[in-house]
């Protein structure tokens, strides 16, 4: 099984900061990775897929990069509404494996 490990698990930053969250896969998953934001008490929301493709309607201060086993989510110009937990997810289809990373809680 492919494991996803996010770091850090917790992150504290200030409004206007730039933060980076890392997701490492235990095997090469090429670009088959998505990032989600989950605000407290809400369902997750898709931010990025294919490692770097921004989902429609997501602010451009969110960006993703990486391929293979190491991926990053970067949030520029941090806003108060970015307080959330962020998850990476692999999008392997054969056999299906949609495992999530353990999450990174972002405090503003």
Contacting positions for other proteins (CB under 8 A)? 30-34, 36, 38, 43-46, 49-51, 53, 55, 85, 87, 89, 91, 93, 95-103
Closer of 53 and 77 to other proteins (Cβ): 53
Q: How many CA atoms lie within 13 A of 96 on its CB side?
A: 1
Closer of 70 and 77 to other proteins (Cβ): 70
Minimum distance, C-beta of residue 14 to other proteins, in the bound complex (Å):
25
Minimum distance, C-beta of residue 77 to other proteins, in the bound complex (Å):
25
Q: Are 33 and 23 in contact (CB under 8 A)?
A: yes
Closer of 78 and 85 to other proteins (Cβ): 85
SS3 82: helix
Closer of 17 and 45 to other proteins (Cβ): 45
Separation CA 5–CA 3 (nearest Å): 7
18 DSSP assignment: -
Show the tokens assigned to 23: 């997701």
């Amino acid at each position: 099984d492919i494991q996803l490990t996010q770091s850090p698990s917790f992150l504290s930053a200030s409004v206007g900061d730039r933060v980076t969250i890392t997701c490492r896969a235990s095997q090469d998953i090429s670009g088959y990775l998505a990032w989600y934001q989950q605000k407290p008490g809400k369902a997750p929301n898709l931010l990025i897929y294919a490692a770097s493709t921004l989902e429609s309607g997501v602010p451009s201060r969110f960006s993703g990069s990486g391929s293979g086993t190491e991926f990053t989510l970067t949030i520029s110009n941090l806003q108060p509404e970015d307080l959330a937990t962020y998850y990476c997810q692999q999008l392997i289809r054969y056999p299906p494996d949609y495992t999530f990373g353990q999450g990174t809680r972002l405090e503003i």
